[in-house]
Amino acid sequence: MNFRKPRPEDPEINLIPFIDVLLVILIFLMLSTTYSKFTELSVTLPSANADASRDRPAEIIVAVASDGRYTVDHQAVDGRNVDALAAALRTAAESRKDPFLIISADAVSTHQSVINVMDAARRVGLTRMTFAAQTGNGAPAAAP
């Protein structure tokens, strides 16, 4: 006679459905993931749609050429440093009440050239400034 208790069978884990679910998740992730490599940051300069230019007697237009030359109200500035630019801005701002500065920089001018204009404006005390942009048809427009 066998008086031993029957031993219960060990539970068995079926791995086939588990593997099927994992494969479906893997396939879903592979299809929904895009593998694109960003090697450089593409930057485009802003364009603006603005009204036709209005006559503003208190505005000072500073143009920055691609080679770093400056003009203040269509007058060339002697020198490319901040001090010469500040002197030209001071002269232009003396005859105007509450002047408004518009920086019109060439698309390929250096960032430092524009920063020099902003630094010179700060030294002179010009706090109201904006940047000129091109409209879609190629005509220049100043941002309000």
Domain boundaries in the chain?
59-142
The bridge status of strand 70-72 relative to strand 75-76 is antiparallel
**Are 98 and 128 a contacting pair, CB within 8 Å?**
yes
The bridge status of strand 70-72 relative to strand 129-134 is unpaired
Q: Which residue has the tokens 């698309």?
A: 107
Q: What is the pLDDT of residue 50?
A: 58
Return the CATH number of 59-142, one of 3.40.50.920, 2.60.120.200, 1.10.1040.10, 3.30.420.270.
Answer: 3.30.420.270
Q: Is the pLDDT of residue 136 over 60?
A: no
pTM of the predicted model, to two decimals? 0.56
Q: What is the pLDDT of residue 144?
A: 47
Q: What is the pLDDT of residue 35?
A: 63
Q: Tens digits of per-residue pLDDT, 78-88? A: 888 899 999 99
Q: Tens digits of per-residue pLDDT, 37-82? A: 554 445 555 566 655 555 566 888 898 888 888 989 888 888 888 9
